[in-house]
Amino acid sequence: MRVLGIETSCDETGVAIYDTDAGLLADALYSQIALHAEFGGVVPELASRDHTRKLLPLVDQVLGEAGLTKHDLDGIAYTAGPGLVGALMVGACTAHGMARALHIPVLGVHHMEGHLLAPMLEENPPPFPFVALLVSGGHTQLVDVRGLGDYRLLGESVDDAAGEAFDKVAKMLELPYPGGPQVAALAEQGRSERFRFPRPMTDRPGLDFSFSGLKTHTLTALHKLREQDALDAQARADVARAFEDAVVDTLVIKCRRALKESGRQRLVVAGGVSANRRLREALDTALVKMGAQAFYPRGRFCTDNGAMIAYAGAQRLAAGQRSQTLQPRPRWPLAELTPPEA
Q: Does 122 map to a domain?
A: no
**Kind of pairing, strands 12-19 and 266-270?**
unpaired
Task: Give me the number of domains the chain comprises.
Answer: 2
CA distance readout (Å), 233 to 126, 187, 190, 312: 42, 11, 10, 44
pLDDT value, residue 68: 98
Contacts of 110 (CB under 8 A, 6+ apart): 79, 80, 81, 82, 312, 332, 334, 337
8 with 95, same domain: the answer is yes
Task: Give the relative orientation of helices 162-172 and 212-227 as an angle to the nearest 10 degrees.
Answer: 10
163 marked among binding-site residues: no
Contacts of 69 (CB under 8 A, 6+ apart): 63
134 marked among binding-site residues: yes
Element holding 211 (H helix, E strand): none
175 with 270, same domain: the answer is yes
280 with 326, same domain: the answer is no
pLDDT value, residue 342: 56
32 with 87, same domain: the answer is yes
110 marked among binding-site residues: no
Q: Does 310 map to a domain?
A: yes
Task: Give the bridge partners for 76, in sequence order.
Answer: 4, 106
132 with 106, same domain: the answer is no
Task: Give the bridge partners for 142, in sequence order.
Answer: 133, 155
166 with 261, same domain: the answer is yes
Dihedral angle sign, alpha carbons of residues 109, 113, 119, 124: negative
223 marked among binding-site residues: no
**Rg of the Cα atoms in the chain:** 20
Q: Does 272 map to a domain?
A: yes
Q: Does 328 map to a domain?
A: yes
279 with 320, same domain: the answer is no
Rounded-to-integer distance, Cα 205 and Cα 155, Å = 11
Long-range contact pairs involving 46-52 (C-beta distance under 8 Å, separation at least 24) = 47/10, 47/11, 47/84, 47/86, 47/87, 48/84, 48/86, 48/87, 48/89, 48/90, 50/13, 51/8, 51/13, 51/87, 51/90, 51/91, 52/90
Task: Enumerate the H helices of the chain as residue ranges.
Answer: 33-37, 44-66, 85-102, 111-117, 162-172, 179-187, 212-227, 233-262, 277-289, 306-318
Tens digit of each residue's pLDDT, the chain (342 residues) = 999 999 999 999 999 999 999 999 999 999 999 999 989 899 999 999 999 999 999 999 999 999 999 999 999 999 999 999 999 999 999 999 999 999 999 999 999 999 999 999 999 999 999 999 999 988 999 999 999 999 999 999 999 999 999 999 999 999 998 899 999 999 999 999 999 999 999 999 999 999 999 999 999 999 999 999 999 999 999 999 999 999 999 999 999 999 999 999 999 999 999 999 999 999 999 999 999 999 999 999 999 999 999 999 999 999 999 998 898 999 999 999 999 975
236 with 310, same domain: the answer is no
pTM, entire model: 0.96
Rounded-to-integer distance, Cα 251 and Cα 297, Å = 18
Rounded-to-integer distance, Cα 216 and Cα 291, Å = 36
30 with 79, same domain: the answer is yes
135 marked among binding-site residues: yes
Task: Give the relative orientation of helices 85-102 and 44-66 as an angle to the nearest 10 degrees.
Answer: 30
Task: Give first-to-last CA distance, the chain, whole Å.
Answer: 21
Best CA proximity match to 134, nearest among 164, 166, 161: 161
276 marked among binding-site residues: yes
Q: 147-162 burial by CB neighbour count: b if 16+ within 10 A, else e?
A: ebbebeebbbbeebbb
Q: Does 341 map to a domain?
A: no
229 with 166, same domain: the answer is yes
136 marked among binding-site residues: yes
What CATH number corresponds to the domain at position 44?
3.30.420.40
Q: Across the beta sheet with 140-147, what order do the strands follow? A: 150-156, 140-147, 130-135, 266-270, 293-295
Give the residue numbers spanning the domain of 167.
128-296
62 marked among binding-site residues: no
240 with 285, same domain: the answer is yes
Contacts of 203 (CB under 8 A, 6+ apart): none
pLDDT value, residue 294: 98
